[in-house]
Amino acid sequence: MRKPKHLFSLHGRGQAMVEFAIIAVSALLLIFGMMNCATAVYDYNYVSFAAREATRYAAVRGSSSASAASTTDISNFVIARSKGLDPSHLSVSTSWLPDNSPGSAVKVQVSYQFTVAIPFMNSNSLNLSSTSQLVITQ
């Protein structure tokens, strides 16, 4: 009996399915990895933006201002504006050098624990952190 010479023989279809499965898994891992990296870049961008905005917020609300900002006020300011971030993974620390008076400096550090979630990989955390410093104006 002769072997069929057409392209879609039974052996060829099985081989194509195995090749497709290998390529599909690799392509999906690559796509999910790229999406996760894009999310991490977005989250870092927001953390950096939040640190700058919180520093500006604190700099215009020094001790001589009518509404002086405390550490809790600055932390609440950042958490209230956290777009797409999990507030339970967000931490804000504020320090004044030497104090909260005009001419002194305010330094705000915002940190976020980003969970890497790629299928078939271990879930790890990345600490995304940004620090900003300004001179208090009021």
What are the pLDDT tens digits along the chain (138 aa)? 565 555 555 566 788 889 999 999 999 989 988 999 999 999 999 999 999 999 999 999 888 888 888 999 999 999 999 888 999 999 999 999 988 889 999 999 999 999 988 777 777 899 999 999 999 987
d(CA 120, CA 24) in angstroms, rounded, equals 14
pTM higher than 0.85 = no
How many helices and strands in the chain, by DSSP H and E?
A: 2, 3
d(CA 62, CA 59) in angstroms, rounded, equals 6
